[in-house]
Structure 1
Amino acid sequence: MELIYVIIGIVALVIGVVAGKFIFAKNTQKQVEEAEAQAQSMIKEAGIRAETIRKEKELEAKEKFVQLKADHDRDVMERNRKISESENRARQKEQSINQKESNLDKQIKENEAIKENLNRQIEVVNLKRTELEKHQEEHIRRLEKIAGLSAEEAKNQLVESLKQEAQTRALVLQQEIIEDAKQKAGKEARKIVIQTIQRTAAEQTIENTVTVFNLESDEIKGQIIGREGRNIRAIEAATGVDLIVDDTPEAILLSSFDPLRREVARLSLQRLVADGRIHPARIEEVVEKTRKQLEEQVMEIGERTVIELGIHGMHKELIRMVGRMRFRSSYGQNLLMHSRETANLCAIMASELGLNPKLAKRAGLLHDIGKVPDEETELSHALLGAKLAEKYGENPAVVNAIGAHHDEMEMQYVISPIVQACDAISGARPGARREIMQQYLQRIKDLESLAMGYPGVEKAYAIQAGRELRVIVEAEKVTDAESDKLSFEMAQKIQTEMVYPGQIKVTVIREKRAVNVAR
C-alpha cells in the first residue's frame, strides 16, 4: 500500500518538473517557483489521501474478518447442537429397545408358564372325557337292557317321531301363513279390483253369428235369389256368407262365423237392393267395392279407438288390426269392446298400484291382436300377438304382457299380471260371454274326478257353478291334520292342472258320528 503512495508521489513530482520546465521555457523564473510550490502541495495532498484510503481499507478488512468469524462461530454452535440432539435420540432409542427386550423376555417366561398350565388342564380334561365315555357306554347298555332296543333303533324311532311331528307342525304353520297372506293380499286385491270394476261402465257385449237383413217386401227375395238361384250363389261365393231365405216375412238371414264377412254381405245387399240391378257381374263389382270401403272403415275405427283411449305412436298395421277387432267376436263377446274394456281396466288398476297407466292401457288394447291376423298360423293368438307387437316396434313390456296373458310366456314385467287379471275380469263378468253347456258340465265333472282320486275321499261335490268344491272324507281313514293337508294339496293341484274362471274354494269335511237307538 505504501509503495502505491510513493509511486503516486513520484509521478506527481515528475509531472511538476515537466510542468516547471515547460513553464520555464515559456515564462519567467517566478512562474517556475510557483509551479514547484504547487507541485509540492499536490504531492502532500496525494499522500494524505493515500493514507486516508489505506486506513479505510484496513478498517473494512477488520470488520469483514469480525463478521466472518461470527458466522463461523454460529455454524459451529448449530452443528454441535444438532449432533447433541442426534446423540440424545439415539440414546433414547437404545433405552426403549432395551426396555422392550426386557418386557419380551418377561412375556416369554409368562407364556411358557401358561402353556405348562394348559397342558396340565388338557391332560385332566382328557382323563375326565375318558371316564365320561365309559359312564355313557355303561348308561346306554343299561337303557338298551331296560328298553329292549338298541341305541340305533331308539334313535331311528325318535327321529321318525320328530320328523312326523315337524311335518305336521310345518303344514299347520304353512297353512296359517298362507291363510294370513291370502286374507291380507285378498283384501287389497279385492279393493283394487272392485274399484277398477266400479269405475268402468261396459255394455252388453254378446253377439250372434247371424245377421238379419230386413227387406221392404218379400218380392225382393226373388230378385236376390235370381234365375235358378244364380244371384244368391254369386253373393255367397263373393262374400263367403250363407244366405238363408225362408218363410220369415221381409227378412233374410246372413250366417257366418266371421263378422267381417257378414258386414260385407249386409252392406253389399243393401246397395244392390237400393240400386235394383242384381246380377252376378254387378254383385262381384259391389262386393269388391264394399270390401275396399270396409277396409277404410276398419282403419278409421282403429284410429278413432286409439285417439279415444289417448294412445299415441302406434304403428299403422296395429291400428288396422285394432279396427278389425270390431268385426270379430270371442265366445260371443265383441273383440274390440272387450279390448277397450280391458285397456280401461288395466289403466285404472295400474294407477291404483302406482304404475304407468298409459303403458298398461296400450298392452290391454293390444292383448288380443293375435285373433285378427292377416294369415292363418299355427301359433296361439297370445304368442302370435306378441310376435306382431315386437315386429311393429312395441315396448318390450307390452310384448311380454301380450304373450303372457294366457301363461304361454314367462311374465317379466309388472304389467303382465295386470293385463291377465283385467282380461279375466272383462270376460268373466255376467253376460259377457257364452259358455257351451257341454264344456261347463265337463269342467264340473273333471273337478269332482280330481277330488275323488285322493285316498280316503268318500264323496265330492262341485257347487256354486264350479266355484266351490266340497269333499267329504271318511273319518276312519283321514285325521284332522290330514284333512288340512288334503285341502291344501287339492287346491294346488286344481291351480296347476285345470283351467277355470275366477277362483275355486276347496272345503274338506270330516265328520265322526256315533248313533245308537234306545228302545
Structure 2
Amino acid sequence: MGILYHPIVFVCLGIAAGLVAGIFLRKRFVEGHQSNIRAQSKQIIENAIVEAEQLKKEALLQSKEEAYQVKQALEQELKAERDELKDEMRQLNKKREALKHEWEGYDAKHAELLAGEKKLRQQEAQIESKLKDIDQLVDKQRYEMARIAGISQEEAKKMLMDSLESEARMDAAKRLAKIENEMKMEADRKGKNILALAISRYAGDYVADKTVSMVPLPNDEMKGRIIGREGRNIRAIEAATGIDIIIDDTPEAVILSGFNPVRREIARLALLQLISDGRIHPGRIEEVVAKVTKELEITIREAGEQATFDVGAHGVHVELINILGRLKYRTSYGQNVLQHSLEVAFLCGIMAAELGLDVKMAKRAGLLHDIGKAVDHEVEGSHAIIGRDLAKKYGEPEEVVYAIGAHHEDLPPQSVLDILVQSADALSGARPGARKEMLQSYVKRLEDLENIANGFNGVEKSYAIQAGRDLRIIVDSKKIKDSDAMLLCQDIAKAIETQLTYPGQIRVTVIRETRAVEYAR
C-alpha cells in the first residue's frame, strides 16, 4: 500500500495517462484531418470534372463555329469561281460566234478568189493568143520590109533597135534634164521657205550684250588707292586674277586686259567690290577675289543649266554644263557666244521640225556647236575641233560630236544635221546687226569681194553669199580650162587676203561648166 501511494508512482501514472490521452487525441485529429482532405479532394475532382465538361462543350462549339466559317468562305469562293467561269464561258461563246462569222467571211473571200483566179487564167489565155497573133504579124511585116528594102531580117532588126535606142536615149536625156531642173527649183524654193520660216519664228535680239572690260571709278583718287603703296595693291590684284590692270589718263576709269573672259569678269567684279567697300589691301584683295570666284562659278553653272533647260537638252555632263556657262562671258565679233549658241539651237530645232528630223538632237547640236570657244585660248586648234573633242570626252551622241566638228567644214559634212548646224550658225552670225559691224561696211565688203573676183580674166559672174563667207565664181569655159580653175581659185583667194580685212575665213569656189543649148523650131 505504501508503494501505491508513492509520489513517483502517481507521476508515472499521470504521465502514462497523458500519453494515452495524447495518442487518442492525435488519432482523432488525424482521422478528422484525413476526412477533411478526402472531402476537399472529392470536391476538387468534382469541380475539375465539371470544368472539363464545360471546356469540352466550349471547344466543341468553337470548332463548330470555325467549321461553319470555313464552309461559308469556301462556298463564297466557289460561287465567285462559278461566276468567273460563267463569264469566261460567255466570252468564249462570243469569240466562237465571231470566229464563226470570220470563217464564213473567209469562205466567201476564198470563193471570190477562186472565181478571180479562173477569170485571170481565161484572160491570160486570151493575151497569149493575141501575142501569138502579134508575133505572126511582126514576122510577116519584117519579111515584107526585108523583101521591099532588099535587106536581111537581121539587118532590119538591127536598124530598128538602133533607132529605138537613139530615141529612148534622147527622150531619157530630156526627161532627166527636166526632172533635175524641177528638183533644183523645188529644193531651192523649199530651202528658202525653211530658212525664212526659221528666221521669222525665232524672235531673238539683234545685238547681244558685250562683256565690259572697263571699270568705272567714283573719282580719280581711287586710282592711287588701287595702285597702293609702291604698287603692292595692283600687283596683288593682277597676281590673284591673272588680268592686267591698265591705269592711264582715262578719267574715272581703269581698263582690264586679258584673254580669259572669265578671269576678266572675276577681276571686274572683285574690283567693283573693293571700290564699294573701300578697304583695299593685299589680304582683303585675296579674300574678295576668292569670294567672287566662288560666286562666279555658281553663276556660270546656273547659266549653263538654264541654257540646257531652255533648249530641252537633258543628260548633259556636269563639266560640259560648266564649260557652256563660261560662254556667257565670251564674245565673238561683239556677239555674246552663249546667246548665239541658244539662237543657233532654236534655229536648228525649227528647221529640223520642218524637215521631219529629230528636233531634240538638232537643238542639242546647235547649243553645243561653239563649246570649244570657252577653252580655245587654253588649247591649241580650231574651236570646232576642240568642241568636238570635249563633246566626245563627256559622252555626247556621235552625231552631235561630228556636227560640232563639221560646223565650219573642218570635217566634211556627212548628214543633214551637219548642214543644219552650219546653216543655223551662218543665219545667227551673218545677219546684219548680229555682230559688231555696220550695215554699210557689210554691204561694201560684199561688193569688194565681187569686184576683186570680176577683175580676173575669164570670170563671167561672181556672187558673195552667206554674208561674205562664201564667194562663188562662174568662169567662161572657153577661156578657162579645168586645169586652170584651181590656179584661178588660189589667185583670187590670195588677192582677197592682201586687199581686204574681214572676220573669220572666206571660201572661194570656182565653177566651170559647159552648156549645150539648142532651140526646137
Q: Which TM-score tier does this pair reach, normalised by the shorter chain?
A: 0.5 to 0.7
Contact 1:271–1:286 (8 Å) recurs in 2: yes
What residue in structure 2 maps to residue 373 of structure 1?
375
Moved more, 193-202 or 366-375: 366-375
What residue in structure 2 maps to residue 301 of structure 1?
303
Alpha-carbon displacement from aligned partner over 1:166-211 (angstroms, at most 9, x marks no partner): 9xxx9x9999877654432121111111111111122244555652
Counterpart residue type for residue 359 of structure 1? M
Counterpart residue type for residue 319 of structure 2? E
The alpha-carbon deviation at position 397 of structure 1 amounts to: 1.2
What residue in structure 1 maps to residue 426 of structure 2?
424
- Work out the CA distance in 1 between the residues paired with 2:235 and 2:207: 32
Gaps of 5+ in 1: 1-127, 130-165, 509-519
What residue in structure 1 maps to residue 501 of structure 2?
none
What residue in structure 1 maps to residue 406 of structure 2?
404
Alpha-carbon displacement from aligned partner over 1:387-408 (angstroms, at most 9, x marks no partner): 2111211111111111111122
Out of 164, 184, 187, which is 2:186 matched to?
184
After superposition, the Cα gap between the structure-2 partners of 1:214 and 1:375, relative to the gap in structure 1 and judged at 3 Å, is: closer
- Work out the CA distance in 1 between the residues paired with 2:374 and 2:356: 32
Out of 253, 271, 274, which is 1:272 matched to?
274
What residue in structure 2 maps to residue 197 of structure 1?
199
What residue in structure 2 maps to residue 213 of structure 1?
215
Counterpart residue type for residue 238 of structure 2? E
- Work out the CA distance in 2 between the residues paired with 1:177 and 1:483: 30
Counterpart residue type for residue 187 of structure 1? R
Out of 416, 419, 435, which is 1:433 matched to?
435
The alpha-carbon deviation at position 470 of structure 1 amounts to: 11
Counterpart residue type for residue 193 of structure 1? L
What residue in structure 2 maps to residue 281 of structure 1?
283
What residue in structure 1 maps to residue 232 of structure 2?
230
Q: Secondary structure at the match of 1:243?
A: strand
- Work out the CA distance in 2 between the residues paired with 1:240 and 1:229: 16
Alignment of 1:110-509 (within 5 A): 180-206=182-208, 208=210, 210-373=212-375, 376-434=378-436, 448-455=451-458, 482=478
After superposition, the Cα gap between the structure-2 partners of 1:395 and 1:183, relative to the gap in structure 1 and judged at 3 Å, is: same
Q: Secondary structure at the match of 1:431?
A: coil
- Work out the CA distance in 2 between the residues paired with 1:357 and 1:280: 52
Alignment of 1:60-75 (within 5 A): none
- Work out the CA distance in 2 between the residues paired with 1:471 and 1:200: 32
- Work out the CA distance in 1 between the residues paired with 2:509 and 2:177: 17
Counterpart residue type for residue 290 of structure 1? V
- Work out the CA distance in 1 between the residues paired with 2:315 and 2:470: 45
The alpha-carbon deviation at position 243 of structure 1 amounts to: 2.7
- Work out the CA distance in 1 between the residues paired with 2:407 and 2:463: 27
Tell me which structure has the larger Cα radius of gyration.
Answer: 1
Q: Secondary structure at the match of 2:280?
A: coil
- RMSD of aligned C-alpha atoms? 4.9
After superposition, the Cα gap between the structure-2 partners of 1:376 and 1:441, relative to the gap in structure 1 and judged at 3 Å, is: farther
Contact 2:473–2:510 (8 Å) recurs in 1: no
Contact 1:452–1:460 (8 Å) recurs in 2: no
The alpha-carbon deviation at position 231 of structure 1 amounts to: 1.7
- How many residues align? The count is 336
TM-score, scaled relative to structure 2: 0.53
The alpha-carbon deviation at position 319 of structure 1 amounts to: 0.7
Counterpart residue type for residue 300 of structure 2? V
Contact 1:246–1:252 (8 Å) recurs in 2: yes
What residue in structure 2 maps to residue 65 of structure 1?
none
Contact 2:352–2:358 (8 Å) recurs in 1: yes
The alpha-carbon deviation at position 240 of structure 1 amounts to: 2.9
Q: Secondary structure at the match of 1:198?
A: helix
- Work out the CA distance in 1 between the residues paired with 2:472 and 2:384: 34
The alpha-carbon deviation at position 503 of structure 1 amounts to: 11
- Work out the CA distance in 2 between the residues paired with 1:194 and 1:472: 27
Counterpart residue type for residue 324 of structure 2? V
- Work out the CA distance in 2 between the residues paired with 1:405 and 1:467: 13
The alpha-carbon deviation at position 504 of structure 1 amounts to: 9.6
